[in-house]
Structure 1
Amino acid sequence: MNPNLKKEFVNLMFRLKKIRIAQLPGVNLHMGELFVMRKIAAHPFNSDANSEANVDMTDIQNSLCVTKPAVSQMFNALEKKGYISREIDPRDRRRFITNLTPAGEQITVAMKEHADKAITQTIARFGEENMTQLINLFNQFIDIIEDAQNEFLSAEAEGVDGIDKVEGAESHD
């Protein structure tokens, strides 16, 4: 294997992580917080007697692949920044009713518009065919990583060194 390939891959992953396609200048939000705000905007609380609290923490946790404390931290940060408000659901005191504040609504709309423009421009510059290929390659790549992770975890659970098992896996060409 090309010894520089691993280094180039790691550098690429860091570069990808730094990209903030929806980021507006002067707005201190990361992608997870924006996702939470968009989720709240898409599911506003309905006071209907049969309605549950509008935002499911577990759904957000699973969608973002983060821990429950990380989701809670995002909600706390958004509330502190004045973008969301939370109150205890009077019908179920274990749950919160979460809404965007007017500032949160404004930022969510502005960031969505900014992201849509940036993505459209990126696809136009890169080309639809290239973007389709990139998406397919990324999906294949992520599938391989997830398979390797699952193999590693199952091997560890069986008491086998998971790294040896994954390293011995066939290559995907």
Structure 2
Amino acid sequence: MTAESSPAREDLITWFFRASALLDPVRLAIWDSQGLTVTQLRLLFHLFEREGMSNAELADAMYVTRPSISALLDRLERRGFIRREISPDDRRGIRIFLEPAGREAVTSLRPAIRRYVADLIADLSEEEAAAIARAFERFVQAGRRRQAKKAAESRES
């Protein structure tokens, strides 16, 4: 059995999807209150963490196509959540930045999301919480390495 199809990895995938689904109620409430789709919110959160990303970097980070990211950016720009600027390093390149409305959308949501997740994990012991935090940290690091590799490969082609 390969690492990609081991029982432990299959269990992890199953539990990952179940854990992700636990966030659906708060995502849907936020989506409704802000008038934004979950995908639009994810894009704003990506920019909040790293402003000045290019279209290609955002597409890679969100695992969507470049035409899809352009359409998302068009809608968010029309609503005043983001702005596009010509890259000072490459006059042909465009960098994406949050406008105050986009920053406010993210910062206003974080406390609600934190409270919701804190309630979900309230029954965990400190040891369980620490173990899960370490596992999530490794998971995110692996995902970022994979994204960086994918981005490098797309630049080479």
- TM bucket (normalised to shorter chain) is 0.5 to 0.7
User: Is the counterpart of residue 41 in structure 1 residue 48 in structure 2?
Assistant: yes
1:21 equivalent in structure 2: 26
**Match in the other structure for 1:100:** 98
Mapped pair 1:113 → 2:111: yes
Paired residues of 1:84 and 1:98 also in contact (CA < 8 A): yes
Which of 1 and 2 has greater Rg? 1
Q: Which runs of 5+ in 1 are unaligned?
A: 1-8, 45-53, 140-173
1:17 to 1:78, Cα distance in 2 relative to 1, 3 A: farther
User: In 1, Cα distance between the equivalents of 2:103 and 2:94?
Assistant: 19
Superposed CA deviations along residues 119-159 of structure 1, whole A, max 9, x for unmatched, are 1112226x4659x5xx89xx9xxxxxxxxxxxxxxxxxxxx
How many residues align? The count is 114
For residues 60 and 86 of structure 2, the distance between their equivalents in structure 1, rounded to whole angstroms, comes to 23
Question: Aligned Cα RMSD in Å?
Answer: 3.3
* Contact 2:86–2:94 (CA under 8 A) maintained in structure 1: yes
TM (norm. structure 2) is 0.56
SS at match of 2:35: coil
Percent identity for Structure 1 against Structure 2: 21
Q: What TM-score do the two structures reach when normalised by structure 1? A: 0.51
**Amino acid of the structure 2 residue aligned with 1:57:** N
The structure in which a higher percent of residues are helix is 2
Show structure 2 runs of 5+ residues with no match. 1-13, 140-157
Deviations along 1:31-69, one digit per CA (max 9) or x if unpaired, are: 32222212222233xxxxxxxxx2033333233222111
Superposition misfits of 4+ residues, deviation over 6 angstroms: none
CA contact (8 A) 2:55 2:94 kept: no
